[in-house]
Chain A
Amino acid sequence: MDTQLSRDLKRLFETRLNSAMKMYLETCTRCGNCLDSCHVGASIPEIKYTAVGRAEVIRKVFRRYFKMQGSFAPWLGEVLEFDDGTLERIYEAAYSCTGCRRCMVHCPFGIDTQQLMSIAKALLIGADKEPKLLSMLSDMSIAKGEGIEETKASYAEAITNLEADVLALWPTAAEAEGAFSRPMPLEAKGADLLYVGLAGAHSIVPAAAIMNAAKERWSLSFFEAVNFGAFVGDSRKMKAIAQRIIDEAIGLGVKEVAIVECGTAFRVMRHFMGKQPFKVIAFVELIDRYLSQGRITLDKSKITEKVTYHDPCQIARNGGVIEEPRRVLRALTEYFVELRPTKEENWCCGGGGGLVAMGEMEFRMKSSKVKAEQMRASKAAIITTACENCHSQLSDLNEHYALGMKVEFLSHLVAKALVRPGQSYRL
């Protein structure tokens, strides 16, 4: 590695050294509490797949360049210099971590491995060694924002072509006349809420039916909620991607932005984008509100099998949305059972941090053995979740480990159970 790149990486590292990060780098007492916390380490028992093992790679670089001993007498302690081998170790640490932060729950000092891995990801970008697919997807999202006016008409046509699918789930739009008389309103001035979906009609149609049933004055975003800038650890791109949605929401003057079932998209918008003139909510929170306000009713006779729920890490442990999906599930079925462990302690699905998009099938399946075992132990026929990434990973686990479960989005179960006017149902 040339000296200039090494200097650049050191400078890049230095820009990340705020007080919290220094505490994470200097405080670990090797207590071992995190050794069993990571689903990867629990599935593949190697120290490099534990939280402390990953953090240690970054700590060794920290010691080499920012501690007296490492700078003047590196031979005295465990340090890592920037070279190709170190970058390979940094890559393995960063992209074997899904950013679920389960280890942080168990760490007595609250050391945030995801934050430490944000240094790793920044260094990989600085060395031009990050996963190019994630950078390309980020760039695509930004380019989409720049050229959105050119494609709005064709998108609107595609949305019109999906109206019959929405009406099959709920027979009317939110209102009979005006801006909210279409099943999926676009650029609807006066909307209270902007709904942001993902690539795929499945992320829009059931949600539209639910919002129409609740008579929500809503508008559909032209953008996808997912944020690949966050996955690849590029904060500039992350903000540019989120800003497209912020500008759209401000332009419409909405009071709320509801994020599709996507954990990372929700966490970025709610926690990383600062104060905005609107509130950010996860779609499952919106469903819970509709139920509590009596704006929708669900027919419990639709589900006759045991259902369990996978808490998406970025929505539950890292987003605080834990009881809302449970209230929705109790309104939906009498057959809800918890996964064990559950809530803040739930095992990550193993697909986060960009791994699903990157493929990585062999690693994702091996590293999530404990998740598959947890799913099987629930004895549930259906596993539901509120995150696209988790849904993809749970579906892959279901097939790979022959679990024989049905993997469902929570919003899809809700949309199928909506009680229509005049319909008989069971509460």
Chain B
Amino acid sequence: MEGIIELHYRKVITINTSGAWEKLVFEDSFTEFKLQAQNFTVGTAYTSYAQLQRHVPQAAQLSARVTPAVNGYVKQLDGLIPDVLNNIGKRFLRFDQYQFELINSDITDKAKHQVAVNFYSRRLRWYKTIANLLLVSEMDEDAGAKQTNLFALPLYVNIKSFQPFEA
């Protein structure tokens, strides 16, 4: 049942996440959350994202409002989805679309700040599955032998769309 797929990698980042890139995203998204959330906490006792979501409808904008704090870091990835490696350990999945997501946060408690960067892959041709490995290529490969990648679906990676090959 192979066909054309798109992958979605939800990269969760918390105060415990290691990695230089991740720490920059964590720190700067928290700072921006704190700045932006205060547009909605004015005159209230709310401090957490959950409280704001429940009581202040406009707070639904907060993920989008914090996004410009992480755009610069996403650009530094040069269009390659991090962490998802092919079977020789290289990043290979290209993305054009991503979405920053606030999971939890609190303007008074950085430890509660949890975010995700959702990466959406380009469309891939999925040819076959070898053991637990998917054999895929990019869509724009020329006719003839395709440049392919073999990889295992890691945790937090979902196949978000599927379209069977034309018969």
A and B: partners? no
